[in-house]
Every structure is written in C-alpha cells, then in structure tokens.
Amino acid sequence: MRIEGKIVLITGASEGIGAACAKEFAASGAKLSLTARSEEGLRRAGGDDALVTAGDITDEATRRRVVERTLERYGAIDILINNAGVGIYQPTWEMPMAEARYLMELNFFAPLGMTQLVAPHMRARKSGMIVNVGSIGGKVVLPWMTLYSVTKFALGALTEGQRMELRRDGIRTMIVCPGYVKTGFQKNVRAGQTPGAVANARKFAITAEECAEAIRRGVERDARTVVTPRSGWLLVAAMRLFPALVESRMAQINGTA
C-alpha cells in the first residue's frame, strides 16, 4: 500500500512504538489521527498537523469519539494501527482476576472494538489495512509474562481470522511481533519485574524507531506478519522444531527450574 496521502489512525500514540509510528508515517506523507491517554504526549508525537483525541481506549465511548472525529476531519480511515497495550510480570496462579481482565481488555478487546468501528467504513470503500501490534510473545509464550502472551496470541488469531473474513472487501490485516524494544514498556507494566536475564538482553534491543520503520515497510508491501528484529524468527522456528528444549530454557530464564 502506498502511504502518501493515506489517513492513519494510531492508538497508544503518545510514546514508544506508537509515537515512533506517528513520526514514521507522517514522514511518508500520511495524515494522522492519534489517540492515547496523554494529550501532551500525543501533541509531541503528532506535531501541529495531527488530529489528537485523548482518552482511555478501553472505554467504548472513547473509541467511538476517536473514529467519529477522524471521519469528520478526513472523511476516511485507510490504515488502523492498534498499538495500545500493557504488560504484567506476574505468575498466572497469583494474578488478581481484575488485572487479568484488564490485560485482556486493553490488549485484545480494545483492538477488536476499534476494528468493529473502522471496518464498516473500509468495507464501504473496498480498501484499507488493519495493523495489530502484538509481540514475539504472541508466537512463543514468555513464562515471565504468560497472560500477556495469551493476549498477544489472541490478537494474532484475530488478525489471521479477519484477514480471511475481510479479504473479499479489499481489506488487509497484518500482525506485528516485536521482540525487545527500547521503550517505557517495562516501567509501565502493571506489576512485577523483568527477570534479570531478560533485562540484560536490553543491549540487543531495537529502538522504537526501528520497529516503526519495520511496520511502515510491512504496510507498504502488504505483509501478513512482521517480526522485528528478523532474528526473532529463529526463536519461533526453534519453538516449533525443539519445543521441549526451548521450554526448558525459558523456564530457567524465568527462575522456575
């Protein structure tokens, strides 16, 4: 898909990958509609030209307001990037159910809700692209973030199913699976801490800007899946070929074996 002149709606756009996507797509000539809880962060990310709508994306009224304002300003939505998300470092057996439900609400139901609002407009125009920002944890379960991985597996399944559902309407879908990205993700988790071995791997992490560039390139070539960095595919392949070995290593990293 050619990005120049396209209308791009990005959730979670006040910092991290979302803010980097705002700058990357704007540099490619897109017109932006941005949403997140921080209006100040949105204005920093989008500059003077972007439409910004501050609010909690888990709230249906916020989602409707974002979509309605975007259509009022631009008349269309060509690309939806469901980026907003949160993590939690806490075992499944002790996580409060309220936290588990919130994790699913933001990481899965909010993207689903946004898609349900945007898809009818894309279907009417017979074109569009839905980009869901998942995680490498949506391909290989990270035992230090098991329920986070569950939400990202669900998001990946949603993306693949919608690709088939919406294909005849000219709408494409893409799942993005970043590995370790240098953002504020770790400081914004709901509870717990990163295992030491994982934290030490930060020196091998990619930047939010590199991730955003990979997303933009994926959109341009109509990719189905973007794993960034590409070395993440090695972990995915290892899990498929040698599951017991990978699970044992993951358990050691998590401190459970």
User: Which DSSP symbol is given to 109?
Assistant: I
Identity of the amino acid at 207: T
What is the rounded CA–CA span in Å between residue 35 and residue 54?
Answer: 5
Upstream peptide bond of 178 is cis (omega within 30 degrees of 0)? no
How many CB atoms lie under 10 A from the CB of residue 186?
Answer: 16
Strands 128-133 and 51-54: unpaired
**Nearest-5° Cα angle at 43, 73 to 113:** 60
C-alpha dihedral sign at 198, 204, 209, 211: negative
Residues with active-site annotation: 148
Confirm if 133 and 176 have CB atoms less than 8 A apart: yes
How many CB atoms lie under 10 A from the CB of residue 200?
Answer: 10
The interaxial angle of helices 60-74 and 110-125, nearest 10 deg, is 30
Q: What is 18-80 written as a DSSP string? A: HHHHHHHHHHTT-EEEEEES-HHHHHHHHTTTSEEEES-TTSHHHHHHHHHHHHHHHS---EE
What is the C-alpha R_g of the chain? 18
